A and B are shown apart, each in its own frame.
Chain A
Amino acid sequence: MVDAEPLVRVRGAAKAFGGVQALRDASLELFAGEVHALLGENGAGKSTLLKVLAGVHRTDAGEVTIGGGPFEQGSTRRSREQGVAVIYQEPSLFPDLSLAENVFIGRQPVTGRGAVDWARMRQEAAALFGQLGVDLDPDRPARGLSIADQQIVEIAKALSTDARVIVMDEPTAALSASESERLLDVARRLRDGGAAVVFVSHRLDEVFALCDRLTVMRDGATVRTSTVEGTDAGEVVRWMVGRELTDLFPKTETTTGDVVLRVRGLTTDGVFDDVSFDVRAGEIVAFAGLVGSGRSEVVRAVFGIDRYDSGSVEVLGAPLPPADPRAALARGVALVPEDRRQQGLFMPASIARNTAVVVLSRLARRGVVRERAERELAAHWAQRLQLRHGGLDQPVERLSGGNQQKVVLAKWLATDPRLLVVDEPTRGIDVGTKAEVHRLLSEQAGRGLAVLMVSSELPEVLGMADRVLVMREGRLMATLDRDEATQERVMLAATGQASVAGEGSAA
């Protein structure tokens, strides 16, 4: 399986973005005919390293070779020509073009007179799909294709260009169990065909089932490369984390009160199905599951951003009208969206303006907003949330991600809500500020606020939540109380192995 000479060799690669050192000392060796796992926590530098191979980024220092010669960096086109193909987690196909054309765009087979040879293109695409062991119609447009099938189209494209190095960046993150299984099969076929396959995944069981060797990165550097055989998962996790997981999640003990939110049989065809749960005052309920499992869609529907097909939502015992965010707001429901830059904040406006924007009418006298009241309100919340800022007039775009998130929270807490819905409260926030956001949410719950949280970070879910709702493919797979929620149970339910999840699953 392993030749003497590696096909790709990265040695001592470094790359900085602004002040952030994304790569410090990354090394990677790939051999033809192996599947190589690249592992590490978020922010360890995996993606940056992959983007160097993809031709998106250029290293500041270090050496990259391919086939024994220097690897020409910095051009996606040149990367492809040098035999590197990257399959992203969410591929970007051309929705209006047929699958066959998506595979061959720009390189369509042509007849002697230079016309696109549609019949041959169709045949060749069908042959590639067959080679990958999937049944896809080359004539159908890419619009509406599942993510799993989109990835297959991308892989077919890589095959058609005779790629020697095929990089898969968390390909299974949004796939169901059976779709993942199919993808692993495809990866094995590629390896047996002599390609070097790089496989990035957070699912260690897949890594152990599929890969021959693994490389672990942490803080921009390669900490370990080893064969999979003879390594166990515990070891790998320790290499990845590099420290013992400490108690990042201060949990205030609370007494739970009345039911604030009652959701029954919520359904939107093809998105989520028959979702029922309660959230009580003083309680933190967390939605866990894979990306694409329908968690964010459920909370959007609850808040009224999206319509739902059937089911009911009650707040404090009275039904909440569907698709009416203003009504939700008036009834004391606040939603902190996932993407705060796009949906949560007015970036160039001041901290004070952003904090006050939802409660403007309360601060106004005869229709005119009093700036003093705005500043008083902002000062109150800045102090309560321990916001680090350079004056309340500072534009929020100049704050760090963590402090921006605090402004978003302040904005909604200022409305004095009964139920706070938070989608990914700590995405892209440094560890220190994360703990503060957690403390804050916990504290608010202690004061009787009901909190519904969507989070992809399992430690956060396990540390914060009084109850964990696990979703998979739009269905609620398990409802776990705090003392029965373990990493394994949640993961098993989220990846569709509920039968193993045991008595904890009640769907």
Chain B
Amino acid sequence: MNGGLRRVLAGREAPVAGALLVVLAVTTAVNPRFLSDQGRFDLLVAIAITGLMAVGQTFVLVMRHVDLSVGSVLGLSAFMAGSAVRGDTGGPLVLALLVGVVVGVLAGLVNGALVAFLRLPALVVTLGTLYVFQGVQALLTGGTRINADQLPSSVVGFGVTGFLGVPWLMWVCLLAAALGGVFLRTRRSGRDLYAVGSNPPAAELVGIPVARRTLLAYMVSGACAGGAGVLFLARFGGVDSNAGIGYELPVVAACVVGGVNIFGGSGTVLGALLGAMLLKTMGVSLSALSVPEFWQQAINGLLLLVAITADRVVLLRRERAARVEAARHRREQADAEPAPPAAGAESPGHEGATTTEVVR
């Protein structure tokens, strides 16, 4: 459909997808092995973990909140899931996933309750729980680690195999993105999240259950981070107390690059996923092009700044255009009609009509 196509091209996702294609093309041209079967597989595995967390983060960001605790939740859930399935017999993969997600949901519940019911600022709450969850993990592990030889082959194999050339880890990420995207686009409660982020007081006024939606968003973010913990366990075949440290900011960056508004109200799961793909692909491709790691970080940071600056400029331009257009429109109307001699002219008593004040 023509209108649909135009909407896709005008959307915030198209330029990110375009940039992604450019990076892939340039890198492949310079280093043809970049997109070999193995290269592609490794790239997708690297994307899957950040991508999954970005899906959850989108729920929180569109509500004008943020979840900085996702890295710590990942570490905690990876360890709990690993503990649940390690040992001589070895538990099934499903158990690991279940434990990971439940740990994440519980962590999200803590974050959500503090933000929704105590109305504490999300930035501070999740910065606090970032350290708290890290502490809980340290307490539980006592500095020990889980190694690949302690894990059942179902879990380790999950990290290195795939289906249709796409790693299982990426399938998990894609499934979450599809579910999340459909929810945010088509469910009333999903649309509520955008309304709350767009104008919080108005959301209260129209009767949206803001606290419940906030709780929901944090539980989804937690669940995704918990799931990402299991992916982490499978990918690296183990976990130690450093797992997940420093993961939160790249996740937020991926969302923002993908067009999720840090001030809430707009952004899609697809955009966040594309943002994660772009950032990860840039990282891998810069290594493939033998750029020192220091420059990779700097370039990622630059990309983030470019993305938010572009968003801001576009927004300001649109607002200005709308303002000028509205003023012109009003003026045209006002000039076109030489002011009907007061609508009340025919009504009785108009001749004495005085008002005690001009306004308010």
A458 at the interface (CB under 8 A from B): yes
Residues from chain A with Cβ under 8 Å of B186 in the complex = 115-116
Residues from chain A with Cβ under 8 Å of B350 in the complex = 205, 208, 233
Partner of B347, one of A41, A105, A208, A500: A208
A77 to B208, CA, bound (A): 10
Most buried by A among B194, B327, B334, B356: B356
Residues from chain A with Cβ under 8 Å of B88 in the complex = none
A177 lies within 8 A of B324 (CB): no
A288 lies within 8 A of B358 (CB): yes
A178 lies within 8 A of B334 (CB): yes
Chain A: how many interface residues by the 8 Å CB criterion? 77
B330 lies within 8 A of A291 (CB): no
Of all chain A residues, which has the CB nearest B327?
A: A270
Q: Kindly list the 10 A-B residue pairs having the minimum CB-CB distance in the complex, ordered from nearest.
A: A144-B322, A232-B349, A205-B344, A96-B265, A115-B186, A270-B324, A456-B359, A208-B347, A270-B323, A209-B344
Partner of A80, one of B207, B341, B351: B207
A473 to B343, CA, bound (A): 20
- Could you count the A-B residue pairs with CB atoms below 8 Å apart for me: how many are there? 207
User: In the complex, which residues 177-200 of chain B have their Cβ closer than 8 Å to any Cβ of chain A?
Assistant: 182, 185-188, 191-192, 194-195, 197-199
Given contacts A94-B198, A205-B343, A456-B357, A269 and B206 within 8 Å (CB-CB)? no
A93 lies within 8 A of B188 (CB): no
B319 at the interface (CB under 8 A from A): yes
User: In the complex, which residues 489-507 of chain A have their Cβ closer than 8 Å to any Cβ of chain B?
Assistant: 490-491, 494, 496-500
20 A-B residue pairs with Cβ-Cβ distance under 8 Å, sorted by A, are: A92-B201, A95-B198, A97-B195, A105-B208, A106-B206, A143-B318, A143-B319, A202-B357, A208-B350, A209-B343, A209-B347, A235-B349, A237-B354, A237-B356, A240-B356, A241-B356, A271-B327, A291-B359, A473-B334, A496-B334
A487 lies within 8 A of B354 (CB): yes
Partner of B354, one of A76, A93, A107, A233: A233
B129 at the interface (CB under 8 A from A): no
A115 to B183, CA, bound (A): 9
A146 to B326, CA, bound (A): 7
A228 at the interface (CB under 8 A from B): yes
Most buried by B among A241, A271, A496: A496
A316 at the interface (CB under 8 A from B): no
For B317-360 the 0/1 string (1 means CB < 8 A from A) is: 01111111111111101101111111111111111111111111
Residues from chain B with Cβ under 8 Å of A456 in the complex = 357-360
B202 at the interface (CB under 8 A from A): yes
A173 lies within 8 A of B359 (CB): yes
A209 to B341, CA, bound (A): 12
A488 to B351, CA, bound (A): 10
A500 lies within 8 A of B202 (CB): no
A106 lies within 8 A of B349 (CB): no
B208 lies within 8 A of A96 (CB): no
A225 at the interface (CB under 8 A from B): no
A176 to B341, CA, bound (A): 14
A149 to B334, CA, bound (A): 16
A206 lies within 8 A of B191 (CB): no
Chain A: minimal CB distance from B265 (Å):
4
A173 to B358, CA, bound (A): 8
A181 to B342, CA, bound (A): 10
Residues from chain B with Cβ under 8 Å of A178 in the complex = 330, 333-334, 336-337
Partner of A232, one of B338, B343, B345, B348: B348
For B193-228 the 0/1 string (1 means CB < 8 A from A) is: 011011101110111100000000000000000000
For A472-485 the 0/1 string (1 means CB < 8 A from B) is: 01100000000000
A101 at the interface (CB under 8 A from B): yes
User: In the complex, which residues 112-161 of chain A have their Cβ closer than 8 Å to any Cβ of chain B?
Assistant: 114-116, 143-146
A181 to B205, CA, bound (A): 28
A176 lies within 8 A of B334 (CB): yes
Residues from chain B with Cβ under 8 Å of A496 in the complex = 334, 339
A179 to B360, CA, bound (A): 17
A236 to B344, CA, bound (A): 15
A290 to B338, CA, bound (A): 19
Partner of A116, one of B188, B261, B266: B188
B191 lies within 8 A of A41 (CB): no
A42 at the interface (CB under 8 A from B): yes
Chain B: minimal CB distance from A494 (Å):
6
Q: A179-B330, A203-B355, A270-B326 are in contact. List 14 more A-B contacts (CB 8 A).
A: A76-B205, A92-B199, A94-B194, A108-B191, A144-B321, A145-B322, A177-B334, A178-B333, A202-B358, A205-B344, A205-B353, A237-B355, A245-B356, A474-B327
B342 lies within 8 A of A205 (CB): yes
A459 at the interface (CB under 8 A from B): yes
Residues from chain A with Cβ under 8 Å of B338 in the complex = 499
B199 lies within 8 A of A93 (CB): yes
Residues from chain B with Cβ under 8 Å of A245 in the complex = 356
User: In the complex, which residues 285-338 of chain A have their Cβ closer than 8 Å to any Cβ of chain B?
Assistant: 288-291
Partner of A181, one of B340, B347, B348: B340
B339 lies within 8 A of A494 (CB): no
Of all chain B residues, which has the CB nearest A80?
A: B207
A367 at the interface (CB under 8 A from B): no
User: In the complex, which residues 25-79 of chain B have their Cβ closer than 8 Å to any Cβ of chain A?
Assistant: none
Residues from chain B with Cβ under 8 Å of A184 in the complex = 343
B206 lies within 8 A of A105 (CB): yes
Residues from chain A with Cβ under 8 Å of B356 in the complex = 41, 202, 237, 240-241, 245, 458-459
Given contacts A176-B334, A205-B350, A233-B353, A92 and B344 within 8 Å (CB-CB)? no
Of all chain B residues, which has the CB nearest A173?
A: B359
Chain A: minimal CB distance from B284 (Å):
33
Residues from chain A with Cβ under 8 Å of B337 in the complex = 177-178
Residues from chain A with Cβ under 8 Å of B323 in the complex = 144, 269-271
Given contacts A106-B206, A205-B344, A498 and B199 within 8 Å (CB-CB)? no
A457 lies within 8 A of B334 (CB): no
A144 lies within 8 A of B198 (CB): no
Chain A: minimal CB distance from B188 (Å):
6
B358 lies within 8 A of A457 (CB): yes
Of all chain B residues, which has the CB nearest A95?
A: B198
A170 at the interface (CB under 8 A from B): yes
A61 at the interface (CB under 8 A from B): no
User: In the complex, which residues 293-335 of chain B have their Cβ closer than 8 Å to any Cβ of chain A?
Assistant: 318-331, 333-334
A500 lies within 8 A of B357 (CB): no
A488 to B356, CA, bound (A): 10
A173 lies within 8 A of B199 (CB): no
A233 to B331, CA, bound (A): 30
Chain B: minimal CB distance from A326 (Å):
25
Most buried by B among A108, A205, A457: A205
A234 at the interface (CB under 8 A from B): yes
A114 to B190, CA, bound (A): 12
Given contacts A108-B188, A208-B347, A473-B334, A202 and B360 within 8 Å (CB-CB)? yes
A76 to B201, CA, bound (A): 13
Given contacts A184-B343, A270-B320, A473-B331, A204 and B353 within 8 Å (CB-CB)? yes
Of all chain A residues, which has the CB nearest B319?
A: A144
Chain A: minimal CB distance from B314 (Å):
12
Chain A: minimal CB distance from B211 (Å):
14
A202 to B356, CA, bound (A): 8
A231 at the interface (CB under 8 A from B): yes
